[in-house]
Amino acid sequence: MASRRSRLINTFQQGIRWFHGSNIAQRQTMVEGLPLNYEVAGGGKKVALCMPGALGTIQSDFGPQMKSLAGKNLTLVCWDPPGYGKSWPPPRQYSLDFLHRDAAIAALLMKTLKYDKYSLLGWSDGGISALILAAAYPQHVDKLVVWGANAYVSDQDVKIYEGIRDINKWSQRMRAPLEAIYGTEYFKEAWEGWVDTLLHIYHEKGGDICKGDLAKITCSTLIIHGAKDPVAPLSHGQYLHENIKGSQLVIMDEGKHNIHLRSPEEFNKIVYQFLFKE
């Protein structure tokens, strides 16, 4: 399990290295009584919302995209979900439908920012919320790209989550990047809350996160998945592809969970071509 934890922490370290050196200004707005931190990069007419993963932030999860994918043809909006990054405090509120709530709040954020039509780029938990948002608000979503996402929790996933739950078993080097963002106490509370909630979904909902939403997705959809993803096994990407009508599946043979951070040039090229393909 140590190597899996190490890969998760490397995700944050790689993303933050990319983000540092950019000149993207921070902004904040209120949505549903929640202070939401967000960034806007690029100046294109085509707009996409970037949706981070568990405990993810703009800095940790989308540095290479905000810096290099956004440009004169593409505007990227990225947010810190409620209770994460600089959208904290207030603390993260977990429930069996917390990813559905994220989807609804993200849609309201884009409405507040006066973006009526946009694409979605969602990673991991953010990919799940992107699936839900695309299903619930088809009139607003142009195209959908998800990677490292899953629509259900399996027996295999439960073992993965249980293996990474206790941060006291992590080395200081592994904990340091997250503690730098959240502090020790809140990091522990938020991480355990996330793991416990996924386990509750497994036990109380038969593992169903958003399986019923997939048939409602009508926009052009690209699913990218790392063949060696240790956090969301490839079977999840294949399930999404089989259950989202007309979707495309790209498998990165050497890819792991954070394919957009490990291979940003290849990843950004795939996404850009999809977004601008007629």
Establish whether 235 is a catalytic residue: no
Establish whether 124 is a catalytic residue: yes
Cis omega (within 30 of 0) for bond into 264: no
- Long-range contacts, stretch 16-20, CB < 8 angstroms, 24+ apart: 16/59, 16/60, 16/63, 16/177, 17/63, 18/63, 18/64, 18/67, 18/261, 18/264, 19/58, 19/59, 19/60, 19/62, 19/63, 19/66, 19/67, 20/59, 20/63
Active-site hit among 229, 236, 247, 260: 229
Active-site hit among 60, 257, 260, 263: 257
Establish whether 257 is a catalytic residue: yes
Residue 48 identity (one-letter amino acid) = A
Q: b/e string for 179-208 if b means 16 or more Cβ within 10 A?
A: bebbeeebbbebbebbbebbbebbeeeebe
- CA distance linking residue 132 with residue 154, whole number of Å: 19
Active-site hit among 119, 124, 129, 247: 124
| Residues taking part in catalysis | 124, 229, 257
